[in-house]
Structure 1
Amino acid sequence: MFEATREIYWNVGHGVLIPMYLFAIIAIGILVYGFKKRLELYKIGRPLNRFDNKAERFQFMLKNVIGQIKVLRVPGPGIAHALFFWGFLLLTIGTTLVFLQADILHPLLGIKFLKGAFYKLFSLTLDIAGLIAILMMIGLFVRRFFVKPEGLETSKDDYIMHGLLFAILITGFLIEGVRMAATELKVNPSLAVWSPIGLMVAKMFSGMNESSLLSLHIGLWWIHMFLAFGFIASIPYIKFRHIFTTSANYFFNDFRQKGSIDTIDLENEEAESFGVSKVNEFTWKDIFDSDACTKCKRCQDRCPAYNTGKPLSPMKLILDIGEAAVNGAETNVIEKISTDVIWSCTTCRACQEICPANNEHVNKIIEMRRNLVLMEGEFPGEEVMMAMNNVEVNGNPMGLGFASRGDWAEGLDVKVMSEDSDVDILYFVGCYASFDKRNQQVAKSFIKLCNAAGIKVGILGKEEKCCGEPVRKMGNEYLYQMVAMENIETIKSYNVKKIVTTCPHCFNTLGRDYKDLGFDIEVEHYTTFLRRLINDGKLKIKPVSFECTYHDSCYIGRYMDIFEEPREVLKAAGGNIKEMSKNRLESFCCGAGGGRIIAEESIGEKISVKRVKMAEETGANMLVSNCPFCLTMFEDGVKMAELDEKLKPRDLAELLVERLES
């Protein structure tokens, strides 16, 4: 009875150890040298601490890398890549176990664990893993070189990578098959069934004589070894480097609240400039991201700017920064990328949410915008400069008199804080709900809903200013901090306990960004606020059936992970939601984010038009949102797309008011 095991250095002998380890040292040396050169490139950038909370970071990295969580968000190629990764990972683990037994545990301690039932499971697992890896490689090969999806760039790196990985996997099975043809097929056929793929290969060589099998095995063994060491040595020099850099990028994750932006110390007398124009003004992490990029184009596929004919490709932007770094620390990255690219971004975070490399795109763009605005006085258009002047003078981008900011509330049961601050919540209205007639209807609806639920509401009226979000996203950090500090001082003077806003941009800004300026009052978006009032029985809604499609605002959805609450509110009102193909995390931007609400959209197709067409495709006659920017864009988009008779934009609050129990 033969024991279930195999001789590890069968046929090649232990004499190969010295040359094998010599070549291994050389390959590892080349790898280390390559990454040392890459490290010098990263060091061009400014310092950034992404090494705190190491245990949390390591756990996050393991979960995302081993689980392939972001990779799997895309069916098809995502599943293929994940299966290939798991297959190759198992083969790497198997090789490591062989190394441990053959070169450490057995010669030093006489321990052999690759035997018996464990060896059978080991052999079966590696065979299946190798087969899966090859099949997935074939699928990915066909996709890249024959299907050729639009926007998927192919370079010589891709030819090298596919060729090398195929050669390593196939020679591995050939070595196993030739060995089994000379051994197990003849003396232990019952063990051969635990290596099913090797057995198939072995049968192909079963007619060869023993001398030929031994010679072929030695030749294949050396070829496989050199291929494996070539793979190791090549990692830092081609796209293989993302094996390390993409994994490390999860360790370097930004654990701040999503959407956080560095608040500039504008009083820093040592600062020579603000924002970024040259490579060395980026952080090391910004440069590192270019090495982590896998060029999978997922970010590009989801970018609303790219998909409406704008010059912005989030993938290319990341890679351009890396190329600029190679050209030198003083390279002007804005010139390389171009201002049209920089101004096109809506900061919707679709790119970051889907990126399997965990790259950070949005803040890079904001930093370049800061330099353009604060240092160069450059704007995407005169209308943006005018809007910023209006914010500075009148506290709103429309340029309307600040004294009329609370006029919309006349005749409603709402208090002005300067007259009576005894309220349950402060409603931070925002510029559009204060001055835009269409969005004033939303503000009025919200007040009526609060009245119906017995909630005492206060507003700041003429004391309220723009939250500063649009001008900040456009790069004007100075103006943002100016209006933010005025708002904070005003709100704190009334001892406000809770703020509710109907604007996701105000919600993000007051609830997250103002914290850097010493603001710590609870802020809630009206969507979750109303959902809770309904669930608690304080807000009585009589459901009346209607059909609609719902748009996930970027700043409520991707930024704040609020997806189900608004849908629950719609259903409570009697809504039957027909989802657009792009919804929740995959939602398509309305086009107003990133300060684009105050800028003309002069390049390519209107983003809002593309989005309303997606809504029309559902067959629903109503497009529901919960953001004044989105509502404004959809009103315009419906007209431009000539869908006035087919689609009506509505706000969540308006639908609830119509269904209040009398």
Structure 2
Amino acid sequence: MTAQATTQPAPATPGTNRLQAAWAKASPAIRDFFVHVLGQVRILKKAYPGIMHFMIFWGVTIQVIGTVINILNMLLFFPWVITFPRGTAYLYYELIMDIAGVMILLGVTMAFIRRLFIRPKYLETRWDDYYALSMLALIPIIGFITEATRLLSANPPWRAWSPIGNLVANLLAAMGLTPVGAVQLHDILFWTHAGVALILVASIPFTKMRHLVNTPLNIILHPRRKTGEIEKIKNIDEAEVLGVGKVSEFTSQQLLSFDACLNCGRCEDACPSTISGMDYSPRTLIQRTRQRMVDSIGTSKPKSDEEIFGEVFTDSYAWQCTTCGACILRCPAMINPVDEVVDMRRYQALTSGKVPKSVADSLRNIERQGNPWGIPAQDRLNWSDGLNLRELAPGDEADVLYFVGCASAFDDRNKKVARSFVHLLQKANVNFGVLGFDETCCGETARRMGNEYLFQVFAEQNLEAMSKIKFNRIVTQCPHCFNTLKNEYPQFGSAYKVQHYTEFLLELGLNQFLSPDGNKVEGRLTYHDSCYLGRYNQIYQAPRSLLKMADMTPIELPRMGENSFCCGGGGGQMWLETDPNTRINHRRLGDALEVKADVVATACPYCLIMFDDAIRSKGLGEQLQVMDIAEVLERRLAV
């Protein structure tokens, strides 16, 4: 018999634990700095402006680093000097500095062409745009001429390693400049170059170049909540401030984000409300708020302490946002206008009471009946007549808790979708059940409409009902319910596994229950990506895989995936009265007509309603139909 010595890992010391905790907290910020500040990943999503900005950014960065190295070689600010670079390293230093200067000039040239000739619709041009570009061009131009006079006067053997400086030196020599004249001119150019650079640095706080400092700071410091998560108002019963009615009530991080805005217009270019002609723009929201903040500096009565509604924004302004998240995903500075919109709505809903009538009606319906439709709560299970649906009682167990959601329970069109989904679950012999009358609205609509108090009441009520039964996962059809249950209920202690029904059905391997003899959907089918399923939760492939399983290969819409165009129903928009000329769902319907689709497939009840409404209002019912993926799959079930 032999004995083997075993060693136990040494227990972590308090110092190690602190280091690990600090690293866990800092690592997302460090990652974002390298990916989005240095890597420029979001900026490069648009090719022309991305390459343009990349060259300017890295050209300036390299030039600044090179200048610092050069200064440290001189006995100017410190009682010591460095001895790098020397020898071969110095040759590469000269070459890299020349390349960096060329990058700046190419980037600036592209920027001038873009502003003077290409002129994208969303691009605003102000005086400080031309000022910044002119100064950025002037500095390397003077720098190359200064370098040329140095090469001409000293004629070093390595001058070919400074190709641009050498080229300019040869041009100056051809124009008659002598080495003696070059020495005299060099001193003038050196101080001119330094002066222009210092003027540029001094003007940073007063021009849009402030983003050189504020944007990296915002990228590092922005909240690291889940994309689809709205911040909770803690201890809401005792909170003194509910929402934001004054600029001074925004958090310091939000104020920083306003100053980090590049005014590039990418958010506006993606915003469905702006594109549809509404009087709303995420850029305008940020820029006006920032201007209000700036106007308060140095005044005896700061405007930041005055209410922003009425003077800065109309009472209806914040209600035109669909909270689709397109602006969040596009913003290179990682600004989140949706946070500001929800904060403003909270103030209107919970403090001032100045909300649109349709919003007030919807919130009242949720409060009284537990659903935005205002249909009596006792009708919540009417959709399931004849399905032999299992209603879970306290103490019951099931593999899947099917969270039905208000749309599937109360909207006539979506009731059919819910029945199709139940048929799929029953065909696959899934052990599932529902909360029944213990289920109430998940609260998503109330939260996005600003009534945080109502949301928290319903969240706690649903979680209490869930705690009385045992299950392995929650499955829901609605991406809005899905996002709320998965990303926001954990704020109240929830740790349940939550899946959208497309994820769950894909895991089931439904193809074994589908038949080639089933009733296949005829015609050209396209799939519309829901904002809350796609952008907020990155579920793009599961719906498409299910459609292919049903022998349907979807035709992609022009705007798809993370660039999908909102249906217009999110953020409470489905309950708002909108001008027929600015309806977002009509524009999205246009995308489906553009690809000559016969069927639009969705995986969201709100999207289904909005498409159905657009089709009906346009009188296209015989040309185009909208179906949920569950309905497409049910048709292929083996009899």
| TM-score, reference length from structure 2 | 0.90
Match of 1:341 among 317, 324, 349: 317
Partner of residue 47, structure 1: none
* 2:227 is the alignment partner of 1:258: yes
The offset of 1:241, in angstroms, is 1.0
Q: Deviations for 1:485-541, whole angstroms, at most 9, x for unmatched residues? A: 222222222233321000001111112222222322221110111111128x76556
| 1:102 corresponds to 2:97 | no
Secondary structure class of the residue paired with 2:499: strand
Task: Write out per-residue CA displacement over residues 378-413 of structure 1, whole angstroms, 9 at most, x where no aligned residue.
Answer: 222x23222222222221111212112112112224
The match for 1:175 is 146
> Counterpart of 2:531?
554
Which has the higher mean CA deviation after the structures are superposed, 573-582 or 236-245?
573-582
Going from structure 1 to structure 2, the CA distance change for 1:87 and 1:291 (only over 3 Å counts) comes to same
**Ranges in structure 1 where 5+ consecutive residues have no aligned partner:** 1-49
Q: Which of 123, 128, 132 does residue 152 from structure 1 map onto?
A: 123
Q: Structure 2 counterpart of 1:305, which letter?
A: S
SS of match in other structure, 2:470: coil
| 2:34 counterpart of 1:62 | yes
Preserved CA contact (<8 Å) 1:541 1:656: no
Secondary structure at 1:206's aligned position in 2? helix
1:347-358 equivalences under 5 Å are 347-358=323-334
2:164 maps to 197
Q: Which moved further from structure 2: 616-625 or 244-253?
A: 616-625
Aligned length: 605
Deviation at 1:106, TM superposition (A): 11
Contact 2:395–2:470 (Cα < 8 Å) also in 1: no
CA contact (8 A) 2:524 2:596 kept: no
Please give the secondary structure, in 2, of the residue aligned with 1:577.
coil
CA contact (8 A) 2:398 2:472 kept: no
Bigger mean CA offset, 220-229 vs 571-580: 571-580
Q: 2:89 aligns with which of 118, 124, 127?
A: 118
Q: Which amino acid aligns with 1:615?
A: A
Task: Give the counterpart letter for 2:59 in structure 1.
Answer: G
Q: 168, 186, 206: which one pairs with 1:217?
A: 186
Q: Secondary structure at the match of 1:576?
A: coil
Q: State the shift of 1:266 in Å.
A: 5.2
CA distance in 2, matches of 1:421, 1:384: 38
* Structure 1 Cα separation of the partners of residues 258 and 23 of structure 2: 19
Return the offset for 1:116: 2.9
In structure 2, what is the equivalent of residue 363 of structure 1?
339
What runs of 5+ residues in structure 2 fail to find an aligned partner? Answer: 1-21, 297-301
**Aligned residue among 495, 507, 516 for 2:491:** 516
| Structure 1 position 503 matched with structure 2 position 503 | no
For 2:343, the aligned partner's letter is: E
Which residue is equivalent to 2:5?
none
SS in structure 1 opposite 2:58? helix
Alignment correspondent of 1:281: 249
Which residue of structure 1 lines up, in the alignment, with residue 409 of structure 2?
434
Tell which deviates more after alignment, 419-428 or 479-488: 419-428
Paired position in structure 2 for 1:533: 508
Aligned counterpart, 1:394: 369
Q: Of residues 585, 595, 604 in structure 2, which corresponds to 1:608?
A: 585
Q: Secondary structure at the match of 2:525?
A: strand
Distance 1:642 1:51 in 2: 58
1:134 aligns with one of 91, 97, 105: 105
Q: Which amino acid aligns with 1:595?
A: G
SS of residue matched to 1:521: coil
Cα contact 1:413–1:447 (8 A) shared by 2: no
In the alignment, which residue of structure 2 is the partner of 1:305?
Answer: 273
CA distance in 2, matches of 1:250, 1:541: 51
1:573 Cα deviation (Å)? 1.9
The Cα shift of 1:553 comes to: 0.6
Say yes or no: does 1:625 pair with 2:594.
no
Alpha-carbon distance in 1 for matches of 2:581, 2:196:
48
Alignment of 1:395-410 (within 5 A): 395-410=370-385
Q: State whether residues 178 and 216 of structure 1, in contact with CA within 8 Å, keep that contact through their aligned partners in structure 2.
A: yes
RMSD: 2.3
Aligned partner of 1:566 in structure 2 is: 543
* CA distance, structure 2, for counterparts of residue 569 and residue 142 of structure 1: 46
Distance of 2:319 and 2:289 partners within structure 1: 16
SS at match of 2:98: helix
Superposed CA offset, 1:441-499 (max 9, x none): 21111111111222022112232211111121111112222222222222222233321
> d(CA) in 2 for partners of 1:476 and 1:106?
59
Deviation at 1:219, TM superposition (A): 1.6
> Residue 315 of structure 1 corresponds to which residue in structure 2?
283
Say whether the 8 Å CA contact 2:222–2:253 is kept in structure 1: no
Aligned equivalents of 1:128, 1:541: Cα separation in 2: 63
Q: Provide the C-alpha distance between the structure 2 equivalents of 1:318 and 1:218, rounded to a whole number of angstroms.
A: 45
Amino acid at match of 1:140: A
SS in structure 2 at match of 1:333: coil
Cα deviation for residue 167 of structure 1 reads: 0.7
Contact persistence 2:318–2:341 (CA under 8 A):
yes
Matched, 1:376 2:352: yes
| Aligned residues of 1:447 and 1:457 also touching (Cα < 8 A) | no
**In structure 2, how many angstroms separate the alpha carbons of the residues matched to 1:286 and 1:51?**
24
Pair 1:484–1:106, CA change in 2 (3 A): closer
TM-aligned CA deviation for residue 73 of structure 1: 1.3
| Deviations 1:188-233 (CA, angstroms, capped at 9, x unpaired) | 2xx3332222222122111322222222222211110101111111
Q: Distance in 1 between matches of 2:23 and 2:233?
A: 22
- Quote the offset at 1:70 in angstroms: 1.0
What SS does the corresponding residue of 1:424 show, helix, strand or coil?
Answer: strand
Q: Which amino acid aligns with 2:313?
A: I
Kindly state the Cα deviation for residue 419 of structure 1 after the two structures are TM-superposed: 9.1
Summarize deviations over 1:111-164 as a string: whole Å, max 9, x none.
533233222222222222211210111111121233332232222211221111
CA contact under 8 A between 1:413 and 1:451: conserved in structure 2?
Answer: no
The one-letter code matched in structure 1 to 2:87 is G
- The question of whether the paired residues in 1 share the 8 Å contact of 2:324 and 2:531 is answered with yes
1:61-98 Cα distance to aligned partner (Å, 9 max, x none): 23321100111111211221112212221222222222
Q: How far, CA to CA, are the matches of 1:218 and 1:433 in structure 2?
A: 78
Is contact 2:401–2:473 with CA below 8 Å preserved after alignment?
yes
* 1:450 match: 425
User: SS of the counterpart of 2:105?
Assistant: helix
Counterpart Cα distance in 1 of 2:391 and 2:62: 66
The superposition leaves residues 544-586 of structure 1 with CA deviations (integer Å, 9 ceiling, x where unpaired) of 6863221111101111111122222222222222222211111
Report if the CA contact (8 A) 1:548-1:578 is conserved: yes
